[in-house]
């Protein structure tokens, strides 16, 4: 393969998984970020990888960092600060852009600001190509199959725990500030803001979880990605209460490596139900470590873009950019996926 992929935020928690996945698949990662010292230390762990410091506010440095790259993956949050400069640099370089942003507002900005320009440039910009946003979108699109519209999409996250990274906590704070502590819902075919409490519900997950208490309307990036290409009247998302407690704990703790790949012992089950009229279709994914699994999602996206396995141009979510069933099958070493109905 041998193609060069720049990774902005390469020394971050998810960025490290992305760099390792790129190397494992034969790509040449270029390590990019603000901190020259951290880049040098990471480069020492990956002999042969070039480090190129580039503050996000320095357009010339970003241009030098992307010089000669075939694509760029943005892993640096808060994405409200990094998406626009890195997309701009990708457009100047004429290369595709992928990010792992879970920030709803940053994803909305990407569609609003760059759809026309990326389409005119004939390139592809894929936001939220990660556990939140990308995986849920692929599952919903795969479940929908030949449906182009749905009355309801339900995405339930069954996390055994959620030890958030400092980047996750910072990105969440930025998002809350941007929307004035209001909550987002996709109802009646559009995004709306609310200030009511999240409803306490039960969700019947497939085995091994079964019926579990969840918080409803726990909006994640799927609220942007799925409706961007599938006409959905109502999209509902749910999160297991154990994960919410971990995320909102006053002294939230970061993930701890538990295997040779650096993955934590966290497990997840994502249950997606799509309903249209009286019919229901379902997709279920099981795996380990929501941060680690974002790496094969993002790298598989870059591989497909660079090998012409795409079906969109401009700004496109995962389900619109790629064949969702084929994409999910390609992740068999990282996920188990079941489709019913």
Q: What is the pLDDT of residues 6-43, one digit of tens each?
A: 999 999 999 999 999 999 999 999 999 999 999 999 99
Q: How far is CA 61 from the centre of its chain?
A: 26
What is the per-residue pLDDT for 176? 87
* CA atoms of 79 and 168, how far apart (whole Å): 10
Residues 6+ apart with CB under 8 A from 225: 107, 127, 128, 133, 134, 136, 137, 317, 318, 319
What confidence tens digit (pLDDT) does each residue in 153-179 have? 999 999 999 999 999 999 999 988 898
- Domains of the chain (ranges, CATH numbers): 4-130+295-321 (3.40.50.720), 131-290+326-340 (3.30.360.10)
Q: Which of 138, 83, 85, 92 is nearest to 118 (CA)?
A: 92
- C-alpha of 192 from chain center: 22
What average pLDDT does the structure give for the chain? 96
What digits encode the pLDDT tens for the residues 282-293?
A: 999 999 999 999
Q: pLDDT band at residue 341, thresholds of 50, 70 and 90? A: confident
pLDDT tens for each residue of 242-254 = 999 999 999 999 9
For residues 141 and 83, give the distance between their C-alpha atoms in angstroms, rounded to a whole number. Answer: 25
Locate 108 and state its tokens: 């909305």
Query: What is the pLDDT at residue 102?
Result: 94
Alpha-carbon torsion (12, 15, 16, 17), positive or negative: positive
Q: What is the pLDDT of residue 180?
A: 86
Q: What band does 90 get if pLDDT is binned at 50, 70 and 90?
A: very high
pLDDT tens readout for residues 316-335: 999 999 999 999 999 999 99
| Average confidence (pLDDT) over 71-78 | 97
């Amino acid at each position: 393969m041998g193609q060069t992929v720049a990774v902005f935020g390469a020394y971050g928690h998810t960025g490290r998984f992305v760099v390792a996945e790129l190397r494992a698949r034969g790509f040449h990662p270029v390590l990019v970020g603000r901190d020259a010292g951290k880049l040098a230390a990471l480069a020492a762990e990956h002999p042969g990888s070039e480090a190129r410091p580039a503050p996000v506010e320095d357009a010339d440095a970003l241009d030098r960092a992307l010089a000669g790259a075939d694509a760029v993956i943005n892993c640096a949050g808060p994405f409200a600060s990094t998406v626009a400069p890195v997309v701009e640099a990708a457009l100047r370089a004429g290369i595709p852009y992928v990010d792992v942003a879970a920030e709803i507002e940053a994803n909305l900005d990407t569609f609003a600001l760059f759809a026309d320009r990326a389409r005119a440039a004939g390139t592809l910009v894929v936001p939220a190509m990660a556990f939140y946003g990308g995986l849920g979108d692929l599952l919903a699109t795969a479940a929908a199959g030949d449906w182009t519209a749905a009355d309801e999409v339900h995405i339930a996250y069954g996390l055994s725990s959620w030890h958030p990274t400092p980047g996750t906590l910072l990105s969440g704070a930025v998002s809350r500030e941007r929307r004035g502590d209001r909550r987002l819902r996709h109802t009646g075919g559009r995004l709306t803001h609310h200030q009511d409490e999240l409803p306490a519900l039960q969700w019947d997950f497939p085995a091994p979880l079964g019926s579990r208490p969840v918080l409803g309307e726990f909006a994640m990036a799927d609220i942007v990605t799925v409706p961007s290409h599938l006409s959905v009247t109502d999209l509902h998302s749910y999160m297991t209460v154990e994960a919410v407690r971990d995320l909102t704990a006053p002294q939230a703790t970061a993930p701890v490596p538990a295997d040779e790949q650096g993955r934590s012992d966290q497990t997840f089950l994502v249950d997606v139900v799509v309903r249209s009229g009286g019919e229901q279709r379902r997709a279920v994914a099981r795996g380990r470590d929501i941060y680690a699994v974002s790496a094969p999602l993002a790298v598989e996206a870059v591989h497909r873009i660079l090998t012409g396995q795409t079906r969109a141009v401009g700004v496109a979510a995962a389900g619109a950019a790629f064949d969702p069933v084929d994409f999910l099958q390609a992740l068999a070493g990282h996920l188990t996926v079941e489709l019913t109905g």
